[in-house]
Amino acid sequence: MDQQELERLAALVDEAAQNAGAISQLSLGHNFTEDESYEIQRLSINHRLERGEKMVGLKMGFTSEAKMKQMGVHDLIWGRLTDSMQLDAGGTLQMDRFIHPRAEPEVCFLIKKEINKAISYDEAMDYVSAVALAVEIIDSRYENFKFSLEDVVADNCSSAAFVIGEWLPANTPLNHLAVAMNFDGEAVQTGSTHAILGDPIKSLVAAARLAAKYGESIQEGAIVLAGAATPANYLKRNQLIKVEIAGLGEVSFKTSS
């Protein structure tokens, strides 16, 4: 696929996100490789940066069996986070800005010093200044939330918004913590942080490896979302969403009418 075609597809996913209008899967009409899908993602994020958004970190996807099974994609993926995607804890998610948003419980890392190479498990936490629980709001730009691996990567791994809880010391234990997501007081998902690659720190190791592979460095002060511990749930208007992770506290947000 030539550069012009990659640019054209990047503009398509970017416009779909901007207009909150679903498009058909790129892979149905085009043949592109996984590497090309990352290039489409990079180019589409460039449009956001040109509009004044700032890169604030990375997200990992399909780090849990639960998510791989729900979406039918079985490879680790990573996407980019910008400042406009961050919603304050307790804030209201404007539903008109999204196509068919879903929420999922995550944990995240705050990066202490630049990571520009693959790192080992043992050194991973040397790069972390704080940890927190988070809720990711994903919103595939594809009709019916259906995609191939290449499609979802090109679409920045469905990144749409995220909410971060209180930052806690980096030595706060992260594994084997009970996870609960409630909508209007009703439990919609329960699970364990162990579902995230058997240990959420492994997700940071994978993020460093994949970012290095694609020539992206993880900056000091960046946020890395480790991937959902449970499947995601569709959001409706006028809901109160709360995620609680034992030992990490809780965070909530509302959806608009």
- Closest residue to Mg ion, judged by C-beta, is 136
Contact indicator for 217, 115 with CB cutoff of 8 Å: yes
Part of the chain binding ligand OOG (CB under 6 A), chosen from 13-21, 152-160, 161-169, 204-212? 152-160
Applying the rule CB under 6 A, the residues between 119 and 138 that interact with ligand OOG are 136, 138
Of 136 and 244, the one with the shorter C-beta distance to Mg ion is 136
Shortest Cβ 104–ligand OOG spacing (Å): 6
Rounded distance between C-alpha atoms, residue 85 and residue 87, angstroms: 6
Q: DSSP label at 146?
A: -
By the rule CB under 6 A, 61 interacts with ligand OOG: yes
- Using CB under 6 A, pick the residue from 62, 127, 162, 183 that binds ligand OOG: 62
Q: Pull the structure tokens for residue 49.
A: 């940066």
Shortest Cβ 18–Mg ion spacing (Å): 21
Q: Pull the structure tokens for residue 26.
A: 């790129």
Rounded distance between C-alpha atoms, residue 209 and residue 186, angstroms: 38
∠ Cα 44 41 74 (to 5°): 150
Question: Helix, strand, coil shares of the chain as percentages rounded to 5?
Answer: 35, 30, 35
213-232 mask for ligand OOG (x: CB under 6 A)?
--------------xx----
Part of the chain binding Mg ion (CB under 5 A), chosen from 33-41, 44-52, 195-203, 223-231? 223-231
Shortest Cβ 48–Mg ion spacing (Å): 18
- Using CB under 6 A, pick the residue from 41, 44, 140, 182 that binds ligand OOG: 140
Cβ atoms within 10 Å of 121's Cβ, excluding its own: 11
